[in-house]
Each structure stands twice: as structure tokens, then as C-alpha cells.
Amino acid sequence: MESSSRAATAADAGRGTASPLVPKDYRIILPSLPSSEAMRRAVALHLHCDVSGRPYRINDFRKPLIDLGVIQQVSGIAAYQISHVWLLNMKIVEAKKALTDAGVLKVKDRVCLVTDPTRQEVKMKLHWLAFDVTKDAFRRAFYEYGYVKEVTDDRWRAEDFEGVESTTRVIRIKLRDGVSVDQLTHQVRIGSSTALVVVPGRPPLCLRCRSTGHMRRNCKAPRCSECHFFGHEQDECNRSYA
């Protein structure tokens, strides 16, 4: 981020990884990914390719998997609902580790993020925080999800503002047993702020219609002329006067 990348931009482009290989304008668009018990037991990974390179086909993954030395360990691979999101299953844990350690593949000369649906330690970004939020406040806010191991400031890198604090924090949390990434809250109240929680590899929350899978700027949900909420038309409105 040239910056702490300004909340909106960081929320869009930073939804993947802290890797410097990821462009600032990288967009993550995800369906709801499978997270069943069988999926957690499998040696499985999610691959998110650059949307600007669509469509993606199986041969596009041949070279990066050969380069990493794991192509012979692939037991399953296929696109999932949309062509830039793929599920990858490996024969052995060592091959999966090689991919997760890499974090990023080059597919069609573009960035492809590798995420592990079973990971118990997660790094996430919180945007729109007040400057005076303490580390203890983060631990209390996420207590039901796990143990907050680290809180770091995301500081500006723009000219003349180098090192200046932003309203973004990077949190590293060890999830409790039975808690998945999908269960982490999308927004959380910390001190006087309601922070946006951005987790790598998780479908984003639309702050307009409150559904997941897209961001507010891409929202196409209708607005009810009766109650003024998004997601339904006037003739579908069940407004309550209770």
C-alpha cells in the first residue's frame, strides 16, 4: 500500500495477503467456499486468481505447479462456481505446505493467492479504528473467536507522511477449536469505533445490502421505496410497526 492505502482501497485491494507481490488494485471476488468437515480433513487449498485474467483453464496452472515441484502431488483440481476461483487438493501434507508457504502463484503472469481453509492462525486487517485503541481492547473484542497474539500498526508510506499512524491495524489471531474463518465477524465494535474486518480469502461483506460475496460499490440490490432498506422491492416489503 502506498499508504495504509486509505480504508476503502485497502478494504478492496488488501483483501488477500500482506505479500509485496500483490498489486494495490488487486480485487478479490469470492463465492461462499465449501467449509465442510470433509473439506477440513482433506489436504485442500483455495486458489484465487486475478479477475483481470479471466477466464482460467486447467492448463494455466501447469507451469506454476511444476515450478513449485508439486504437480505430481495434485489429486484434484477444478474451478468453483466462477472461473478465477479454484479448489486444489493435494496427496500429501508436504505439498500443501509448499503451496501455503509460497502464498502466491503466478498464473497467466498474474497473481494467484493461495489460502488454506483449515488454518487456525489468521492474519487480518481492521479498518476505521480510533487512534487510541489498546491491545487489550482487541483481545476483549475477539475473545469468543480466539487469542489475539499480535497487533501491529499499519503506517503510511506516502511522501512526507512516512511512518505516520493510520486507522488500520493488522491482527494475528489463533482461532479457538471449532472456529472457522467464515465465522469471524465482518464488523466489530472496539472502543468508540465500528471497525471493518478484512480476512484473506473470505468473501467480503457488502455494507449496503449486508450480504456477502461483493462490496458496496458493486452492489446491485434494489432499494425499497417503502422502508428504504436494500435487498427487496416495495411489493415485497414486510415493514413492522411493532
Provide the CATH topology of domain 121-202.
Answer: Alpha-Beta Plaits (3.30.70)
pTM above 0.75, yes or no: no
> Residue by residue, what is the 3-state secondary structure of 32-96?
CCCCCHHHHHCCEEEEEECHHHCCCCHHHHHHHHHHCCCHHHEEEEEEECEEEEEEEEECCHHHH
pLDDT at 41: 60
Give the whole-angstrom CA distance, residue 196 versus residue 121.
19
DSSP-derived 3-state class of residue 212? strand
165-175 and 193-198 strand pairing: unpaired
Sequence ranges of the chain with CATH classification 3.30.70.330:
34-115, 121-202
Superfamily of domain 34-115: RRM (RNA recognition motif) domain (3.30.70.330)
Query: Tell me: the pLDDT tens digits for 40-64?
Result: 666 889 999 999 999 999 999 999 9
Pick 29 or 136 by higher pLDDT: 136
